């Protein structure tokens, strides 16, 4: 009997769904074994009955629920709770689902501040300063899935490598734990390390003194952090290279920006990165800002609006 899979996107850009499709021909193998019972990226399955005649949101039952995106509004929350109710196993697919992802950068602002910024002209209805009819209410923050529902399997990455998506699905079908790395990007990076770097301040990537582009083989290129370039490999979970292992960005000589989230699920990429910079001899006061160190993992209360004494 085929395994029933339900896939849904919440506060998501659809890149994670593209990673599923990017499994290529292996997707055909998977499709021989699974039945997608609901997958908005591929088929139009209605939420309130196929004729829109039901009062309550309802999704089909499934063995596995694959959810991309975090939870930002009431509709996302309702969908996530419905999926939890209807699925035996829930997989958080992608860093938005596991740690809030890029959208959780909004957590540094209050909702009113965000709405004021984006709705700069008045609406046609003077009693309603922002368009709101038929639009789900924003929650007070952008949440990772496990802040609202129980998650069984975490598959971070922005997006996760298709090899990892394949491995996670096959592992479920074979009833075994998925073979996903718990190391850091640095642990899988072939660049040359000498210990402490010689630069005290961060260097802009394009002005890197010893970076010779593709002319230099990766295993003789000096570690970017040791060259004073902000590379977040030390504080980021490995896996983005898929079966080839070499981290995706490093393979094109670009520093890691942290898209797989922290090495340990509950880690804090900003605090860990400041430590890594300091232990490489870099003066952390030379950083123009630190919020972006949490650009992929601002949920779980890691990013919050600055405290204001007037409570605004
Ligand atoms: S993790 Fe990245 S690719 Fe996936 S939904 Fe979020 S932003 Fe898009
Ligand atoms: S800091 Fe960057 S360049 Fe250096 S080892 Fe880690 S991932 Fe590679
Ligand atoms: S190197 Fe870092 S930013 Fe680049 S894909 Fe891998 S985890 Fe993401």
190-230 pLDDT, tens per residue? 999 998 777 788 887 766 545 566 677 899 999 999 888 89
Tell whether ligand 3 has an atom less than 6 A from the beta carbon of residue 260: yes
Tell whether ligand 3 has an atom less than 6 A from the beta carbon of residue 256: yes
User: Nearest Cα to 162, choosing from 113, 93, 237, 97?
Assistant: 93
pLDDT in tens, 121-150: 666 666 667 778 888 999 999 999 999 999
Which ligand has an atom closest to residue 297 CA? 1
- Name the closest-CA residue to atom 5, ligand 1: 12
Residues with Cβ within 8 Å of residue 285, at least 6 apart in sequence: none
Which ligand has an atom closest to residue 236 CA? 3
> d(Cα 31, Cα 48) in Å, to the nearest integer?
26
Question: Distance, CA 210 to ligand 1 centroid (Å)?
Answer: 32
Domains assigned to the chain: 3-173 (3.40.50.700), 181-302 (no CATH)
- Name the closest-CA residue to atom 2, ligand 1: 158
- Cα-Cα-Cα-Cα dihedral sign, residues 200, 204, 206, 207: negative
Question: Distance, CA 160 to ligand 1 centroid (Å)?
Answer: 8
Ligand 2: lining residues by beta carbon, under 6 Å: 185-186, 189, 191, 223-225, 231, 233-234, 247, 250, 255-256
221 Cα nearest atom in ligand 2: 3
255 Cα nearest atom in ligand 3: 1
19 Cα nearest atom in ligand 1: 3
> d(Cα 267, Cα 154) in Å, to the nearest integer?
14
Query: What pLDDT shows up at residue 207?
Result: 61
* Cβ atoms of residues 276 and 223 within 8 Å: no
Which ligand has an atom closest to residue 41 CA? 1
158 Cα nearest atom in ligand 3: 8
Question: Distance, CA 143 to ligand 2 centroid (Å)?
Answer: 29
- Of 158, 240, 242, 295, which is best to mutate to test ligand 3, by the most ligand atoms within 8 angstroms of its C-beta? 240
Query: What pLDDT shows up at residue 280?
Result: 83
Identify whether 235 is preceded by a cis peptide bond (ω within 30 of 0). no
Dihedral, CA of residue 143, residue 146, residue 147 and residue 148, to nearest 10: 90
* Cβ atoms of residues 19 and 161 within 8 Å: yes
Q: From first to last of its 312 residues, what are the pLDDT tens digits of the chain?
A: 899 999 999 999 999 999 998 999 998 998 899 999 999 988 888 999 888 899 999 999 999 999 999 999 999 999 999 999 999 999 999 999 999 999 999 999 999 999 888 877 666 666 667 778 888 999 999 999 999 999 999 999 999 999 999 999 999 989 999 999 999 999 999 999 998 777 788 887 766 545 566 677 899 999 999 888 899 999 999 999 999 889 999 998 899 999 999 999 999 999 999 999 998 888 898 888 999 999 999 999 999 998 766 555
Tell whether ligand 3 has an atom less than 6 A from the beta carbon of residue 185: yes
| Cα→Cα distances 92→5, 10, 144, 204, 288, Å | 13, 11, 9, 34, 33
- Name the closest-CA residue to atom 8, ligand 3: 259
């Amino acid at each position: 009997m085929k395994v029933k899979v339900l896939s849904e996107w919440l506060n998501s850009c659809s890149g994670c769904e593209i990673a599923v499709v990017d499994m290529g021909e292996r997707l055909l193998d998977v499709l021989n074994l699974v039945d997608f019972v609901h997958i908005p990226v591929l088929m139009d399955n209605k939420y309130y009955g196929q004729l829109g005649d039901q009062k309550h949101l309802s999704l089909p039952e499934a063995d596995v629920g694959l959810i991309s995106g975090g939870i930002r509004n009431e509709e996302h929350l309702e969908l996530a709770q419905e999926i939890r109710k209807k699925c035996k196993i829930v997989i958080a697919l992608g860093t938005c689902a596991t740690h809030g992802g890029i959208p959780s950068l909004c957590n540094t602002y209050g909702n009113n501040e965000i709405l004021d910024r984006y709705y700069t002209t008045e609406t046609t209805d003077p009693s309603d300063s922002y368009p709101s009819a038929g639009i789900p209410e924003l929650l007070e923050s952008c949440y990772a899935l496990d802040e609202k529902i129980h998650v069984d399997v975490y598959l971070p990455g922005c997006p996760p490598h298709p090899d990892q998506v394949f491995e996670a699905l096959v592992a479920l079908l074979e009833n075994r734990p998925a073979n996903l790395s718990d190391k850091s990007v640095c642990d899988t990076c072939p660049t040359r390390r000498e210990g402490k770097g010689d630069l005290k301040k961060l260097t802009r990537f394009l002005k890197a003194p010893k970076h010779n582009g593709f002319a230099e083989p990766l295993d003789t290129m000096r570690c970017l952090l040791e060259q004073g370039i902000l590379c977040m490999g030390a504080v980021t979970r490995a896996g983005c290279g898929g079966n080839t292992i070499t981290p995706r960005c490093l393979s094109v000589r670009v520093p890691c920006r942290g898209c797989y989230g922290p090495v340990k699920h509950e880690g804090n990429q900003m605090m860990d990165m400041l430590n890594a910079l300091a232990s490489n001899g870099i003066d952390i006061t030379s950083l123009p800002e630190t919020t972006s160190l949490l650009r992929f993992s601002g949920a779980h209360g890691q990013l919050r609006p600055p405290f204001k004494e007037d409570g605004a």
